[in-house]
Structure 1
Amino acid sequence: MSQDKNKILIESIKRLLRRNAIAHLRKIVNKTHAADLSDMFPLLTVRQQHRLFDLIDDVEKKGILFSELDETTFLAFVDQMNVDDIVPVLEAMPSDDVADLLGHLQEEKTDAILKKMKREGQEELESLLKYGDDTAGGIMVPDFIALREDATAGEAIHLFQKDYKDVEMPFYLYVVDEYGKLVGVSSLRQLVVVSPETPLRAFMSTDVLSVRTDMDQEEVAKLVARYDILAVPVVDDTNTLVGIITVDDVIDIIKEEADEDMLKMAGIGTEFIESKSVFKNTRIRMPWLLASCFGGLAATFIIASFGDTLQKVAALAAFIPVINGMGGNIGTQSSTIVVRGISTGSLDVRKIWAVVFKELSIGFLLGIFYGTLIGVFAQIRFSTFKLALAVGSAVVCSMSVAALVGSMAPMVFARMNVDPAVATGPFVTTAIDIIAVFFYFQISSILLGL
């Protein structure tokens, strides 16, 4: 339903753009959510994008649109904007989102924008930009609510009403000591159920979950998801509170990391490339296919070395695709399960043999089932028991070894501190193709006496 609605919206806007119906366009653009507009922008020319952008009345909505655009569309869009037009939009955005966007721009343009921004916002952004893009410090919000532990509940509520109206995540009140070090946290509910004269230290929780500025964003997302919190405080090396990471940013991190893992497992890099040119698509995918190319050549040499066997029993060639295919499929299944388990923290890489043995057992049982099924087919089709036995045994070996490789590879990569997502795709399937072909012909040669 949503896709149909967006399709109608896109077609309507394109038609109004052709007719230059400014009044109707202004109504539609200002009523449409910025997230829906961001889906539409890649389908328009840069000139059409700017025409729609100029019709948006609310500067905060323009900021949301900026943050929702994919990197390629955003860069092409702001490339034709003056710095003076960009700055007001960025100043209306949360500083963590602005830091992310500035990280995509060229250094010269980033410096020009920072010089034009208000002094307070400039200092906040410069403090965020010194951290890595994928760390807690790089995604944190430097605006938070923190009071001394000797403050009372009444004073805290008064400050909420007076000074903290525009804070992004006013669900937690953080408590610090005289040196700004994090010592406790309180929810809004706790503030309103105690007497106004009660000091914060009397009811705050001292068991505070916090993260360091250099922690990887994926680890931050796991913590927030594990403990079901709306925000997590960020501290520096001295435990001084420097910012918070909110749940909306965590959702973006989870989506971003899932997209990256999916692309790595498919063997096509780390970013979506549907909006890039044909030649850029080709250049990005080419290196990832080298493993498949060399693996295929290796399998060709193995098959060629058993040329005499094939000449004597030509029917062997008919079962190469199904044996490779069954092994490749279960290998990909095993590696996907293990990579997901590692990324979500549900699998302990230190228990590598328990995981590998489980997947090997599954592969062996599935191999017996499908080996019997395919062996029966071979017997019916060619009426040769030894051929059927060779094919069935090869399926069992192929699926068992594939499950072994598919589960072990990402676990080994994880133990070596290498991203386990790279263990799938071309790497696993190519390795399995080589192994499956080798076992198939070795078993066939022995059983058929060739």
Structure 2
Amino acid sequence: MPEIGAHQLEVAETLIGVGRFLIIFVAARLLAELLVRLQLPTILGELVAGVLIGVSGLHLVVPPETQGVVSQGLLQLLGSLADLPADVVRDLYAESFPNLQEVANIGLFALLFLTGLESELDELVAVGTQATTVAVAGVLLPFALGTLGLMTLFHVDVIPAVFAGASMTATSIGITASVFGELKMLRSREGQIVIGAAVLDDILGIVILAVVVSLAGGGSLAIGPILKLVAAAVVFVVAAIGLSRSAAPAFDWLIDRLKAPGDVAVTSFVVLTACFFPPAVFGWEPPLGAFAAGLTLSTSRHTHEIEQAVKPIVALFATIFFVLIGTGMDLSVLNPMDPANRAGLVVAAFLLLVAVAGKVASGWSFLSQQPTNRLVVGLGMMPRGEVGLIFLGLGTQAKLLTPALEAAILLMVIGTTFLAPVLLRLVVSGQSNGPDVDPLAEIPT
């Protein structure tokens, strides 16, 4: 075999990197455009795009840990362009894949930062105990039922069962707010309770996520370390909320005195990176720091400018994150024609049932003297959306889940995200959608 030069390797690495980005973005945009026209969340299009180009589809983008085989046609094309044998290109493909995963993590951190930034803490205070009760019930019911059900009915190991239960806790603020906005109910009593509860849901969910992944990494299930992790994580998030009242004004004071272009974006990034230090010290996952950074700046006067700076980053890099989740999904484990897969399908149905029932039941968990459509509240808490996919992605990266359980969680996320907008529209279709007025004065704190 002729000697391979450094230039050929450099060309091949460039072609592999550029080719992967091209495939990912074209596939993601095509599917996102389709789902937008169907009035469904674009993140589901990105996820499906990943499935189509990944190990369950065309094998164009294949994470090495899946043991999938990259498309021979793609390898030959890249090899001919770089004048290299296909087997050399395949080795370079596997070696360079971690770089793509690091880029995807940028999207994850930016998305969680934006989620924290958009958390309207004042709205949570405005709806008081109703939102708190709904949020706590919406976290505890799916988590407890999902975890215990997997362990007792399906004999799933503790850590995977706990992680699957945790993946059902959060509510997608973005999807819920979008649907209530379309229905002109965002400022209704039900809408405010759901949005406030979703904010708290995300806070509780991210804390649970940090604790579960930390426990999985350390392998310790002793009650002492668990309580210590939970207490430290709660203190960290509460401190971030408290800092939003003091650090945000200091941030504004600094921004008002900076003149160079990009001051808001760069200074926000400094806050984001600084918030990674406490999770690193306590052994949590970095996403908790990203979310806390967003909470810290959520009361800034420059929130809109920060959002405008972060959203393009999310649009680019979070797309890669969601597509990569799809590329690693082996949906062959859900083929009902294979008798070995039927147990996994039963698990998927169980998770979807618990995910729906747990959130819907939370709509009846609060006391109210004012007329409230509790079914609307419960359905509004249902969609997991991007938050559920973040849980799934981290579980996959940490190798906590079996392929069947990964696919079951994926179906749970997709099912709740598709069902929530449809069922909400059906439930409120007979109601009068009046002007989107502000009812906060009517809601007791």
Indicate the TM-score class for this superposition, using the shorter chain for normalisation: under 0.3
Q: What TM-score, normalized to structure 1?
A: 0.23
Q: What TM-score, normalized to structure 2?
A: 0.23
> More strand by proportion, 1 or 2?
1
> More helix by proportion, 1 or 2?
2
Higher Rg of the two aligned structures: 1
